[in-house]
């Protein structure tokens, strides 16, 4: 049998991780022949709760879960890992300014970037979920100097899945009949959901507002933010990263920009359509962009540049 994959999930005592860990452990992502070791990282005050999560994983008696390690030390958590799923982040408290939230989070991702650089496998893949996801991902990649920036990506798959499901509902077709919806830019309200290249039976497009405001709608209804759908989207993202995208299909993820693609400035983690093979992504180039789309893609790029520049003011060099 295969060597176990070492997978670290941060924010492991939180609500997204509660759904995510089970799906990773039971073979939904890496397949039924791939054993896993799960390493759970959270902060010291959460160690009690995290112990409970570890107990529950054990109680599932899963054949593929070889070991569960719970820790509050990033250097223990990232030791020799193949994959890190960075869900943990400082949540926005009432009255907190965006700038203060950014400041708290970039510090966390600076520390974690340095730690992963020191102890993880050099070909580790890192998926950032905790918000502001794109900028946290950029900061982390910046501090993990010996790990290629291409190994980092951030989650916009939940937005893509939301768009896909809404188009399918409108057209009254199965979710799986809608393909190649794109999310451009930031995982924030400036993101641009783009159905103009989607494959579907008729040409109806999704209203962007419904996707951009969907997170807020879930909070209003459930009183908690998206968790099952977020965990499922993380699994979709990681599965595509590990197994590749299907022939003729692509997916959206936040990846490092090269300054040569779709007018997006260099050095931001921007959500693009990508094809994946052998755990490496490449841009889907050459898609037509309308004037309307262009202006939306620029607006979300501008926001990311501003977020990056604010973040870097808070960081040591």
Q: Which CB atom, from 15 or from 190, has the smaller least distance to ligand NAX?
A: 15
Question: CB of residue 49 vs ligand NAX: minimum separation in angstroms?
Answer: 7
The residue at minimum Cβ distance from ligand NAX is 14
**C-alpha triplet 261, 248, 138: angle, nearest 5°:** 35
Q: Which of 2, 11, 142, 138 is nearest to 72 (CA)?
A: 11
Q: Which CB atom, from 102 or from 129, has the smaller least distance to ligand NAX?
A: 129
Catalytic residue among 125, 157, 162, 187: 187
Q: Which residues of the chain form contacts with ligand NAX (CB under 6 A)?
A: 10-11, 13-17, 41-43, 46, 87-91, 108, 129-131, 133, 155, 158, 187, 225-227, 230
3-state secondary structure of 183: strand
Take residue 248 and report the two structure tokens written for it: 């003729």
Name every residue whose Cβ is closer than 8 Å to that of residue 120 and which is 6 or more positions away in sequence: 78, 79, 80, 81, 84, 147
Question: CB of residue 64 vs ligand NAX: minimum separation in angstroms?
Answer: 23
Q: Which CB atom, from 64 or from 239, has the smaller least distance to ligand NAX?
A: 239
Q: Which of 30, 21, 31 is nearest to 59 (CA)?
A: 21
* Residue 232 vs residues 61, 86, 165, 196: alpha-carbon distances, Å: 21, 15, 13, 25
Question: CB of residue 93 vs ligand NAX: minimum separation in angstroms?
Answer: 11
3-state secondary structure of 306: helix
Question: CB of residue 2 vs ligand NAX: minimum separation in angstroms?
Answer: 28
H or E segment and range at residue 41: strand 36-41
Question: CB of residue 234 vs ligand NAX: minimum separation in angstroms?
Answer: 8
Q: Which CB atom, from 155 or from 200, has the smaller least distance to ligand NAX?
A: 155
Q: Which CB atom, from 158 or from 198, has the smaller least distance to ligand NAX?
A: 158
* Residue 44 vs residues 49, 116, 225: alpha-carbon distances, Å: 10, 19, 23
Question: CB of residue 104 vs ligand NAX: minimum separation in angstroms?
Answer: 9
Q: Which CB atom, from 140 or from 198, has the smaller least distance to ligand NAX?
A: 140
Residue 197 annotated as catalytic: no
* Residue 311 vs residues 89, 102, 268: alpha-carbon distances, Å: 15, 7, 12
Q: Which of 87, 74, 76, 150 is nearest to 113 (CA)?
A: 74
Q: Which of 89, 82, 92 is nearest to 219 (CA)?
A: 92
Residues that are catalytic: 187
């Amino acid at each position: 049998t295969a060597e176990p994959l070492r997978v670290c999930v941060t924010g492991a005592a939180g609500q997204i991780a509660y759904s995510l860990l089970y799906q990773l452990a039971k073979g939904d992502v890496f397949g039924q022949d791939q054993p896993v070791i799960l390493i759970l990282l959270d902060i010291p005050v959460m160690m009690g709760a995290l112990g409970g999560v570890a107990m529950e994983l054990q109680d599932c008696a899963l054949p593929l879960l070889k070991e569960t390690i719970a820790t509050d030390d990033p250097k223990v958590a990232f030791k020799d890992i193949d994959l890190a799923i960075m869900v943990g982040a400082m949540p926005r408290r009432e009255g907190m300014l965006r700038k203060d939230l950014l400041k708290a989070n970039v510090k966390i991702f600076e520390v974690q970037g340095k730690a992963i650089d020191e102890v993880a496998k050099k070909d580790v893949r890192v998926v950032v979920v905790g918000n502001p996801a794109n900028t946290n991902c950029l900061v982390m990649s910046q501090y993990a100097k010996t790990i290629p920036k291409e190994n980092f990506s951030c989650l916009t798959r939940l937005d893509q899945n939301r768009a896909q499901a809404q188009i399918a509902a409108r057209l009254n077709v199965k979710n799986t009949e809608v393909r190649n919806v794109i999310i451009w830019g930031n995982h924030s309200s400036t993101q641009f959901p783009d159905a103009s290249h989607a494959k579907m039976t008729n040409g109806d497009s999704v209203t962007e507002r419904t996707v951009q405001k969907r997170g807020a709608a879930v909070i209003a209804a459930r009183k908690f933010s998206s968790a099952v759908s977020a965990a499922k989207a993380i699994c979709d993202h990681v599965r595509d990263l590990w197994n590749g995208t299907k022939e003729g299909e692509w997916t959206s993820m936040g990846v490092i920009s090269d300054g040569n693609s779709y007018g997006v400035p260099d050095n931001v983690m921007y959500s693009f359509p990508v094809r994946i093979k052998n755990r490496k992504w490449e841009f889907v180039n050459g898609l037509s962009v309308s004037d309307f789309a262009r202006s939306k893609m620029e607006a979300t790029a501008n926001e990311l540049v501003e977020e990056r520049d604010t973040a870097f003011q808070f960081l040591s060099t």
